[in-house]
Amino acid sequence: MLTLTWRRGDGRCAFLAGMLALLCYISPASAEDGYDLWLRYAPVGSSKVEGYRSALGNVVAPDRTPTQRVVREELRRGLAGLLGSEPRFRASPAGDAALVLGTPASSPWLAPLRHELEGVGEEGYLLRWTRLDGRDALVIAAHRDIGVLYGVFHLLRLVQAGVSLDGLDVSEVPRIKLRLLNHWDNLDGYVERGYAGGSLWDWHTLPGWEDPRYTDYARANASLGINGTVLNNVNANALSFSPAYLRKAAALADVFRPYGVRVYLSARFSAPMELGGLATADPLDPDVRQWWREKAREIYALIPDFGGFLVKANSEGQPGPQDYGRTHADGANVLADALAPHGGVVMWRAFVYAHDVPEDRAKQAYNEFVGLDGAFRDNVVVQVKNGPIDFQPREPFHPLFGAMPRTPLMLEFQITKEYLGFATHLVYLGPLYEEVLRADTHARGAGSTVARVVDGSLESHALSGIAGVANIGDDRTWSGSHFDQANWYAFGRLAWNPYQSARDIAAEWVAMTFSPAQEVVRPVVDMMMASRETAVDYMTPLGLHHVIARGHHYGPGPWVDGGPRADWTSVYYHRADRDGIGFDRTASGSDAVSQYAADVAREFNDVERVPEPLLLWFHHVRWDRRLRSGRPLWDELVHRYTRGVRNVEAMQVTWRRLEGRVDAPRHRQVAAFLRIQRDEAQWWRDASVAYFQSINGLPLPAGEAPPPHPLAYYLSLQFPYAPGDGR
Ligand code: BDP
């Protein structure tokens, strides 16, 4: 730490201080450590300052409620950073042009917009020029304070990207109602599948100490429109529902409230036994029902706007209604009944599969749930992972989307990269999310996209939701790496509007996170957009899946076999033998294809028509079958593994060229992580090639380098302390 002893009149100190100030001025980015996320508010180019200042220099905004004060503080902070001077807060728009914010209730100036606000709902906003008292004003108007805050973040986004405000005329409404992060955080501070350090929640010092970071977390989420957060792991500890922990959760809820972020909790189904001392957790038992009702009352007394429960039941060893011969609907409904009087929801997860069921794991969730359509209470949403297995680098969309028309289905994405290289691999998930959201279920004919199922528009559901398993921890970067912040960002933006493009979102994020200069935005966005396919290439090309190392899932493990359950092995999924590779899920195999609408099923079932990226997901294919490239399958597989490695090298080149255009500390860390990624991509390629070659005995295609080690070497690698392992 640098300390200066200051003595009045000391010329040397004055000189030193001057130099320091100058240094800070000429390299303001040198202190960048990622903490500020996309809310850095770095100065806009001098040519633009005056234009923005004349529109935004005078602000009329109420300051009576906590959210109104947050709005003013965000504007003050944002404009001070971006334009170099704080806005002047005025009592009325009289005089100069002004930015006028508020709701018809909070600002008399905005009362005339009441009618126009009819379409923006509870959280939407208008951001546009209008005439107030005979002069031009930019207004951010909403029904509720939170809409105004969202509008402010929108405006600041535009300024950060250097976009002109001329003719601005925006009307925004979130398409999805529940836009949630799911934290898989344990009470001991460990984050399951977390690669960004420990949990953000310091349960020990809560509720007495509210770490300022909680506020920054809420700000970041509000900037995206994320409006809820599940604080604890789906593999839940009943203690989260104890009075002491509920008070801690209530303290977080108090911090988050002004930012429109509601608190939810994962509920352990057996909590009535563990906490309540009951002999059963049978959902039809009157004492159990009563226990949940009382618990809900207790929670709402502490957290009046509590969101509700997330439940993982009868999945991977978690307790659930089936322990008592009851259905998932019976289980969900007892919790829903307890929450209903308070306005809470139950998010009941469909991620279920049982090791004692011989059925293809990819089919099990559908089999369990599809017959329960219509059996859930109105305040239940069934939360479905994007694909039928488990957050793989690529999966087809989950067959439940479109198959339960009477039940609102909430989409669950994983933001943390359990299966995509943890935090060190640069993989932008925007394209993965977009691919899923745009997938056409054909449930009601062509155009029945997953996005339309999830936003409720396909079946006119009032309730709709989307969740992302958070990649946030106490690492200074929040997400474990600079580029992983983009995945939090992309999730939030798509949760607001699932029809946006991943490329546009990446461009926004780069402009705000690194620089709005096109020389930066263009190459970085291209690199991000290609990064997911690159990871698919070196990890799971052509529809391979679940070929990861056992337990911690760090690195390749296509040889994983044996152990407690077949569906936790790799050989179960790739089924490679001397003749071919792939899981036959066609009508003559497990028939998983039949869970999709007829048009989709036909396409997936036909080896000639199935999209090649999903080939081995649905088909067992001979090694010598010619693919669309003209190469035999084996050659194509090796080609893709190698291409993946080459493409990481291309990312390294792109990044190297940006040296000097991106501040040095962040540039250095990204460069170092890309080196790790490159080496691990090579490891994935070599280990996979060595393993599959040991099965098929085929020679490598011409020009392909043999793996530098024998297969035994790859098998011998152990990583007992790999992060994020389940506990
Ligand atoms: C898998 C994770 C496991 C989670 C599980 C879940 O490996 O740690 O508990 O999903 O979603 O992806 O419940």
- pLDDT tens profile 290-348: 999 999 999 999 999 999 999 999 999 999 999 999 999 999 999 999 999 999 999 99
Query: Strands 125-132 and 169-172, how do they pair?
Result: antiparallel
pLDDT at site 1:
28
CATH number 3.90.550.10 given to 46-172: no
Whether 360 sits among the annotated catalytic residues: the reply is no
Task: Of 199, 246, 81, 677, give the one whose Cα is nearest residue 424.
Answer: 677
Angle of CA points 162, 52, 73, to nearest 5° = 95
Q: Which residues contact 409 (CB under 8 A, 6 or more apart)?
A: 381, 382, 383, 384, 400, 401, 453, 454
Radius of gyration over every alpha carbon of the chain, rounded to an integer in angstroms: 27
Long-range contacts of 320-328 (CB under 8 A, 24+ apart): 320/269, 321/269, 321/282, 321/283, 323/281, 324/280, 324/281, 324/282, 324/283, 324/284, 326/282, 326/283, 326/284, 327/372, 327/375, 328/352, 328/368, 328/369, 328/372
Distance CA 187, CA 542 (A): 39
The answer to whether 498 touches 211, Cβ cutoff 8 Å, is no
Q: Give the residue among 558, 616, 562, 559 at the shortest CA–CA distance from 589.
A: 616
pLDDT at 727: 62
- Sketch the domain layout of the chain as residue ranges: 46-172, 178-513, 537-583+620-716
- Ligand 1 centre to CA of 351 (Å) is 9
User: Which residue's CA is the closest to the ligand 1 atom numbered 9?
Assistant: 235
Residue 357's pLDDT is 79
What per-residue confidence (pLDDT) applies to 26? 40
Tell me the C-alpha distance between 598 and 604, whole Å.
10
Residues with CB under 6 A from ligand 1: 192-193, 234-235, 312, 316, 351, 390-391, 418, 726
Active site annotation includes 390? yes
By the 8 A CB rule, do 373 and 328 touch?
Answer: no
Q: Alpha helix (H) ranges present in 87-211?
A: 145-160
User: Low-confidence residues of the chain, pLDDT below 70?
Assistant: 1-30, 95-96, 727
3-state helix, strand, coil in the chain (%, to 5): 45, 10, 45
Ligand 1: residue of 232, 269, 390 to mutate (most ligand atoms within 8 A of CB) is 390
Backbone angles phi, psi at 64, to 5 degrees: -95, -35
Find the 381 Cα to ligand 1 centroid distance in Å.
Answer: 19
Name the active-site residue from 73, 202, 316, 373. 316
E-assigned strand segments in 142-297: 169-172, 178-182, 228-230, 262-266
What CATH class does 537-583+620-716 carry?
A: alpha beta
Question: 244: closest CA among 204, 276, 209?
Answer: 204
Residue 99: predicted pLDDT: 96
| Span from the CA of 299 to the centroid of ligand 1 (angstroms) | 27
What pLDDT is stored for residue 354 in this prediction?
Answer: 81
Q: Does domain 178-513 have CATH number 3.20.20.80?
A: yes
Crossing angle between the packed helical segments 518-539 and 633-657, to the nearest 10 degrees: 150
Residue with tokens 């009382």: 294
Residue 331 and residue 289 in contact, taking contact as beta carbons nearer than 8 Å = no
Q: Are 351 and 315 in contact (CB under 8 A)?
A: yes
Residue for token digits 């190469």?
Answer: 631
Examine domains 46-172 and 537-583+620-716 and report if their fold is the same.
no
> Residue 365 in contact with residue 571, Cβ under 8 Å?
no
